[in-house]
């Protein structure tokens, strides 16, 4: 997920003459499949042998719904397949704390917003109140950023006031709301639940792990470097086995101004530059109200953002925790998996062009009996960065102070330095520069990991890195997805194999003269797939089918952002089918299933973006001329109560 400016997006590895990118991918996949098959031999166990042939296990189920047609770049309301319905669950400004005032767009205040559902909703996590339950639970929703031009009539950053900034700060963060499915199948949220909570940019947050107390995390307002005021730009996230939520701080750089005014000899300046902080004023102009957002007045405040934050939704009085052991960068997702030996792994992406893919592996092991005390696993372990080799193998390179180039001579005196300067550590160890790593999720059925790379229109352009095997398409407007297999299916492994799963785009618009338009769908017939552009959030249903939410399809393929399903195994592997088209100007976030797969939660972020408060391009979801567009969470169900994906 990105802000407005991010959506518009040399050595090269060339294919043999006359061979396309997809042919190269298929040729390599076919050879590797043959080698894997040969290694199995006749002694394959558990696969079923008939007349000398190996019969593979049953494939993941394909969908039964009729895929919808893609919708043009603007649609007033969402579109679903037949037999499905969507229900508005909770919107920006809806009361979520007992006693909160009703939403009034003409009377936005900090006090009201701190008790109301926040703005641009992104990650959605469903936490059952009873283990395995699908009818009642806590919905935890991230609020990534604000669109002030859609919040106030006549908004101009140069005329922003303290009251306006306070509202925006309160609209960031996280919302926790209790939701229920009634006996009639209808969902609702409970505005007076004891669990409901708002976490904002004002909420005290604890700093944990190796970087806690480091000098770079100390400020005039908080000289210990162990607590920070709030969380910002919360994008995707993850859920832990002990019932907490991990929320990812992504594009924090946009809030901090005036890096160019720092002394060139100050190492802080170069470090801020590496993380993309603006040289001059910001688009929001918060620095004119609060010194913490002006690096010339508070140079260390920005170091306190860009972390993974743990939130306990079941305890509204708990203090969120920033886990520094997971590194500092523009975090996208934090998907947790427990390995066969009990170690915890967290998959992490850095959402910017030519940035890296990371994984954290805990030192200790998960113990269900310890409950929330397992949170300590996130403070002690090893952070790795990925290197994708051209032959389809890869390594997780440890980012440990004192190993390799991560020495005091190179600016890494302690492990805290490695974690605060994670991007610089990745640079030194030779990690693979990727096309905007977004969500990264483990398939619960086939145990493979799927990495969404949204796009990178700068790939292969003048002065920028060229193509490589893992990023094979220059001017990669539509993005791609990589399928990664950990050695031994162990998320704690340090080696992996990988393949290109999808080269996204619109097959109907391929142009042989423009290799950047070429597509690939795991070998599936291109004439039978739905076009897809800019993959972002991903999730899996109980059958192991991959669900892909997009952010940037209007730019990539000239269609609305959408939600797609694609089987990962069997005859239908690679068969992308569009399930949902979102409201105009918005992206689709989430997605999140209930454990029984009979409800699907989607966050609809920044509807109407591109318009103004008094000149909106849409008034979804209320469609009321007195109300602006409102970022919202919807829930999708089958009209006959079937599992999502069935006809």
Within 8 A by CB and 6+ apart from 608, the residues are 150, 584, 585, 586, 616, 617, 618, 619, 620, 628, 629
Q: Judge whether 81 lies within some domain.
A: yes
Name the 3-class secondary structure at 339.
Answer: coil
528 phi/psi in degrees, rounded to 5:
-115, 5
Strand pairing category for 204-208 and 321-323: parallel
pLDDT of residue 365: 98
Residue 387: inside a domain: yes
Backbone angles phi, psi at 232, to 5 degrees: -130, 150
Q: Is residue 41 scored above 60 in pLDDT?
A: no
Whole-prediction pTM? 0.93
pLDDT per position as a tens digit, 77-117? 899 999 999 999 999 999 999 999 999 999 999 999 999 99
Q: What's the pLDDT score for residue 30?
A: 65
Whether 402 is covered by a domain: the verdict is yes
The confidence score (pLDDT) of residue 20 equals 79
Domain region containing 166: 4-250+306-638
**Which of 401-418 are b and which e, b meaning 16 or more Cβ less than 10 Å from the residue's Cβ?**
beeeebeeeebbeebbbb
Q: The CATH number of the domain where 516 resides is what?
A: 2.120.10.30
What's the mean per-residue pLDDT of the chain?
92
In a domain, 273, yes or no: no
- Based on the structure, what is the number of domains in the chain? 1
Q: Is the pLDDT of residue 47 over 50?
A: no
What would the pLDDT profile of 133-192 be if each residue is shown by its tens digit? 999 999 999 999 999 999 999 999 999 999 999 999 999 999 999 999 999 999 999 999
Q: Are 379 and 360 in contact (CB under 8 A)?
A: no
The full DSSP string for 203-220 is: SEEEEESTTTT-GGG--S
Alpha-carbon span 75 to 68, nearest angstrom: 14
Asked whether residue 142 is assigned to any structural domain, the reply reads yes
Is 47 a member of any domain? yes
Q: Element (H or E) spanning 166, and its range? A: helix 162-171
pLDDT at position 76: 73
Strand partners, 441: 450
CA angle 282, 357, 434 (to 5 degrees): 75
Grade residue 43 by pLDDT with cuts at 50, 70 and 90. Answer: very low
Residue 349 counted as domain residue: yes
Least confident of 53-62, 340-349, 354-363, 382-391: 53-62
For residue 398, pLDDT beyond 70: yes
How much of the chain exceeds pLDDT 90, in percent? Answer: 89
pLDDT at res. 57: 32
- Report the alpha-carbon distance of residue 412 to residue 450 in Å, rounded: 32
Q: Is residue 256 part of a domain?
A: no
């Amino acid at each position: 997920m990105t802000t407005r400016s991010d959506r518009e997006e040399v050595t090269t590895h060339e294919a043999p003459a006359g061979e396309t990118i997809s042919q190269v991918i298929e040729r390599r996949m076919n050879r590797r499949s043959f080698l894997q098959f040969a290694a199995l031999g006749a002694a394959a166990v558990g696969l079923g042998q008939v007349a000398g042939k190996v019969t593979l296990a049953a494939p993941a189920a394909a969908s039964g719904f009729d895929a919808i047609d893609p919708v043009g770049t603007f649609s007033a309301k969402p579109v679903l397949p037949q037999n499905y319905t969507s229900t508005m669950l909770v919107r920006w400004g809806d009361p979520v704390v007992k006693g909160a005032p009703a939403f009034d767009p003409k009377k936005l205040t900090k006090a009201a917003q701190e008790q109301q559902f926040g703005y641009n909703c992104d990650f959605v996590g469903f936490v059952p109140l009873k283990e395995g339950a699908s009818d009642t639970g806590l919905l935890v929703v991230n609020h990534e950023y604000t669109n002030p031009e859609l919040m106030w009539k006549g908004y101009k950053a140069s005329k922003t006031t303290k009251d306006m900034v306070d509202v925006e700060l309160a609209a960031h963060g996280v919302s926790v709301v209790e939701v229920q499915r009634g006996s009639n199948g209808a969902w609702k949220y409970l505005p007076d639940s004891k669990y409901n909570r708002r976490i904002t940019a004002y909420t005290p947050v604890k700093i944990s792990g190796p970087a806690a107390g480091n000098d770079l995390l100390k400020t005039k307002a908080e000289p210990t470097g162990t607590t920070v005021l709030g969380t910002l730009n919360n994008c995707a996230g993850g859920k832990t086995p002990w019932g907490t939520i991990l929320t990812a701080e992504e594009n924090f750089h946009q809030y901090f101004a005036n890096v160019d005014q720092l002394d060139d000899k100050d190492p802080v300046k170069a470090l801020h530059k590496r993380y993309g902080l603006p040289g001059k004023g910001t688009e929001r102009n918060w620095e004119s109200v609060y010194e913490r957002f002006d690096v010339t007045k508070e140079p260390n405040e920005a170091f306190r953002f860009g972390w993974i934050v743990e939130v306990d939704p079941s305890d509204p009085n708990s203090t969120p925790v920033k886990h520094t052991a997971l590194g500092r960068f523009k975090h996208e997702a934090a998907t947790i998996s427990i390995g066969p030996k009990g170690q915890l792994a967290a998959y992490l992406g850095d959402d910017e062009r030519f940035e890296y893919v990371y994984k954290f592996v805990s030192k200790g092991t998960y113990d269900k009996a310890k409950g929330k005390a397992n949170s300590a696993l996130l403070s002690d372990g090893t952070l790795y960065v990925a290197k994708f080799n051209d032959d389809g193998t890869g390594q997780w390179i440890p980012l440990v102070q004192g190993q390799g180039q991560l020495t005091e001579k190179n600016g890494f005196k302690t492990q805290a330095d490695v974690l605060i300067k994670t991007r610089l550590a990745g640079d030194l160890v030779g990690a693979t520069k990727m096309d905007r790593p977004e969500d990264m999720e483990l398939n619960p059925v086939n145990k493979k990991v799927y990495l969404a790379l949204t796009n990178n229109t700068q790939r292969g352009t003048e002065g920028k890195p060229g193509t490589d095997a893992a990023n094979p398409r220059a001017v990669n407007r539509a993005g791609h997805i990589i399928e990664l297999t950990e050695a031994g299916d162990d998320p704690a492994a340090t080696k992996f194999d990988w393949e290109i799963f999808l080269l996204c785009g619109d097959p109907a618009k391929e142009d042989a003269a423009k290799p950047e338009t070429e597509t690939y769908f795991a070998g599936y017939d291109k004439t039978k797939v739905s076009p897809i552009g800019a993959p972002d959030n991903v999730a899996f249903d109980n059958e192991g089918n991959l669900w892909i939410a997009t952010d940037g399809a209007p730019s990539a393929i000239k269609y609305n952002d959408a939600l797609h399903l694609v089987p990962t195994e069997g005859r239908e592997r690679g068969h992308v089918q569009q399930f949902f088209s979102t409201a105009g100007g918005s992206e689709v976030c989430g997605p999140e299933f209930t454990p029984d797969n009979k409800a699907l939660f989607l966050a609809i972020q920044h509807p109407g973006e591109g318009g103004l408060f008094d000149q909106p391009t849409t008034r979804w979801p209320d469609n009321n001329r007195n109300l602006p567009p409102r970022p919202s969470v919807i829930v999708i169900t089958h009209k006959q109560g079937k599992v999502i994906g069935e006809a």
